Structure 1
């Protein structure tokens, strides 16, 4: 058990770094805009490129994780991530930042899935919801770090030194993976590569995946996209908070995310033991997340910290979809199930981050009123898409129940 916990902690640190570099442009956005003259659309593209690179890697990663195991896949990729942090540190313009961001996206693309695969390999199946939630919670500490801690770091050093520090941290995690994580014998099993890719098709065609993936995609896409970039501008332009107060709110949201990840994992496990499916708990949580967004957009007379805490807490509900889908497929498909779902989630996040930036860029400028309208228009559109995905889920569920009734 001690070895399993050590493995969990090391893989969780990799996911922490993944979350840190994912959201690091949020506090850096004003500096990059002023120092390098980046527009909202350029900021959106720069930040969302991480999600694009992340998503593009998912299909081959699913095959590699199931074929070679999480340790041997994650180590070389994290070396690329460290290189990306160094490229970002020494970038002199938009193109250099794009290259660094691309390398960071590719290099950290396996952090979450490698962690999930390691949990499946080292822990009993009944612990999956809780351990997956714990992994997500530690990743959430990376979201906490991009609030007040990074703001403080930027007050004593430059954003370039910050990227060098990130590269050093990634290097330490690579060394820990090499020296402290043993191989698991099942990770050595090799099946024909054609069979590996057929497994992807099997997951992708599964009715249960087709039903839940769109809802998870838009829900987590909005959560990751806003939490990773647009929360700060929204708090400044719409809620009229100062940069310092906005950073505090981002930290509060990250802490709520940590609590939510652990809480939903614990709740999912408890309810599952009483016969309530993990998928049902996840969907109710994603409904609560939609409510949180609506309350923020409508500016209901509640404390701002409470609204954004509710946002951070409920936004983690989609993580239960990983454990839910893992129960629907054989263990040898675990890596491909996780990476296919992550592919959907990060495509959603890319669309949200870049799309929000495009709308903000084309919306009439010149006053705070128009900026607030643009932010609200983005979120209303996102809520509409989430509602459509929810209808798709319930339609698919009704069709499945009817089919089962006919077969009976």
Structure 2
């Protein structure tokens, strides 16, 4: 190949948009893994003789591993960089997917999910670190919101497409095929990140001894946890994604089918609109934040109150309401839940560059922990209040009202955050 051709190919492969695209596809896989266990639950229980407790533990394992590895992952990303951190992390997740696919016991199933959670813990924050290095701050909110929205394709893929594939080739073969697709993407990410960012003016990662880097990392973390904005934004993230994720991942289906009397097909169509609104709303909210309203703070306040209002409407909606009303409210709920990119942009812009990944992963710890807690907590609450009718209208009425109130309070708390420099224009 001529020298010019080789140089052009190298430039294409190390182009920042190529890096962004591959990292985003890996985040799609992360979103797929989060929710993929739901639709194959009957197969898992039959093949491995799982109890409901076993299945619940396997489902929760990914979220808890993902959450508790966030802060260490942020420290590593800040001090070693994404080029050294992300490919190895994804390799660990690849091993976890294979263990999950070949598991013959509940313990191996849980181990596979744990490794998947640990390995995919870099998927979102690592991509945000890539945006910080390879793109300017003027694009961060739009691109981070785009990553989150594109990731929702993984949630869509974990529904009907996964069911169809499992029916055709079996759930084990399906996950083996996904594992090797995962490995291909991880290898491609390793190759495309070899080049240096064009125009990167940031300092290279420190090459001091490991002990010094660890001490610096601990000092950074201590500085972050003293910042009021970090706690206010993290609390909002905990409630926002905790409640939104619980509805999206589990409770929307029983609400529509058991309470509102929708058929599974109609419920699936409503949830498709729900997820489509999330995909569409991410870039829209990022663009409004970056270019139109030029605010991070007030976008998030409006989004939190919008989530609260739409969930309150679902809580008080009478049984037998029309499909059009249900579809509208779930679409609004999805749209208002699409502002995660703005949330991350806000905390990122309030932190010095050397603290960015640590702050983002610290916040993401609370976000993922919120999902795990609300998925289990809402079910426990409904079972406790209505032990003989835990999937009744009254049970969902109570659960959704509590969640609507918490989201409203989160919006009030967010009013007391500082606006970032980018938000002030």
Q: TM-score range by the shorter chain?
A: 0.7 to 0.9
Work out the CA distance in 1 between the residues paired with 2:399 and 2:141.
Answer: 32
Residue 151 of structure 2 corresponds to residue 129 of structure 1: no
Contact 1:26 1:232 in 2 (8 A): no
Work out the CA distance in 2 between the residues paired with 1:361 and 1:42.
Answer: 19
For residues 252-401 of structure 1, what are the structure 2 equivalents within 5 Å?
252-273=273-294, 277-299=295-317, 301=321, 302-359=324-381, 370-394=391-415, 396=416
Contact 1:88 1:96 in 2 (8 A): yes
Contact 2:232 2:414 in 1 (8 A): yes
Change (3 A) 1:33 1:386: farther
- In the TM superposition, what whole-angstrom CA distance separates every residue of 1:58-98 from its partner, at most 9, and x where no partner exists? 11111110111112211111112112112221223433322
- In the TM superposition, what whole-angstrom CA distance separates every residue of 1:249-302 from its partner, at most 9, and x where no partner exists? 3333222111011111111112354xxx21211121121112222222223644
* Structure 2 residues not aligned, in runs of 5+: 1-10, 198-202, 420-425
Residue 194 of structure 2 corresponds to residue 182 of structure 1: yes
Work out the CA distance in 2 between the residues paired with 1:235 and 1:35.
Answer: 29
For residues 69-148 of structure 1, what are the structure 2 equivalents within 5 Å?
69-148=81-160
SS at match of 1:251: helix
Change (3 A) 1:337 1:90: same
Work out the CA distance in 1 between the residues paired with 2:156 and 2:88.
Answer: 27
Which region of structure 1 is more displaced relative to structure 2, 73-82 or 87-96?
87-96
- In the TM superposition, what whole-angstrom CA distance separates every residue of 1:350-400 from its partner, at most 9, and x where no partner exists? 101222343455565666x85444344333332333334334334x45xx8
More helix by share: 1
Contact 2:382 2:391 in 1 (8 A): no
Work out the CA distance in 2 between the residues paired with 1:384 and 1:40.
Answer: 30
Work out the CA distance in 1 between the residues paired with 2:282 and 2:155.
Answer: 12
SS at match of 1:258: helix
Work out the CA distance in 1 between the residues paired with 2:237 and 2:316.
Answer: 24
Work out the CA distance in 2 between the residues paired with 1:78 and 1:237.
Answer: 39
Please identify the structure whose Cα radius of gyration is greater: 2
Change (3 A) 1:36 1:241: farther
TM-score, length basis structure 2: 0.84
Work out the CA distance in 1 between the residues paired with 2:50 and 2:310.
Answer: 31
TM-score, length basis structure 1: 0.88
For residues 211-222 of structure 1, what are the structure 2 equivalents within 5 Å?
211-222=232-243
Work out the CA distance in 2 between the residues paired with 1:43 and 1:363.
Answer: 23
Work out the CA distance in 2 between the residues paired with 1:37 and 1:236.
Answer: 27
SS at match of 2:121: coil
Contact 2:305 2:407 in 1 (8 A): no
Work out the CA distance in 1 between the residues paired with 2:392 and 2:41.
Answer: 16
Offset at 1:8?
A: 0.3
Offset at 1:106?
A: 0.7
Offset at 1:38?
A: 5.2
Who is 1:406 aligned against?
A: none
Q: Which of 249, 253, 263 is the aligned partner of 2:270?
A: 249
Aligned residue pairs, count? 394
SS at match of 1:27: coil
Who is 2:71 aligned against?
A: 59
Who is 1:405 aligned against?
A: none
- In the TM superposition, what whole-angstrom CA distance separates every residue of 1:151-201 from its partner, at most 9, and x where no partner exists? 332332322222212211210111101222225474533463211221112
Residue 29 of structure 2 corresponds to residue 17 of structure 1: yes
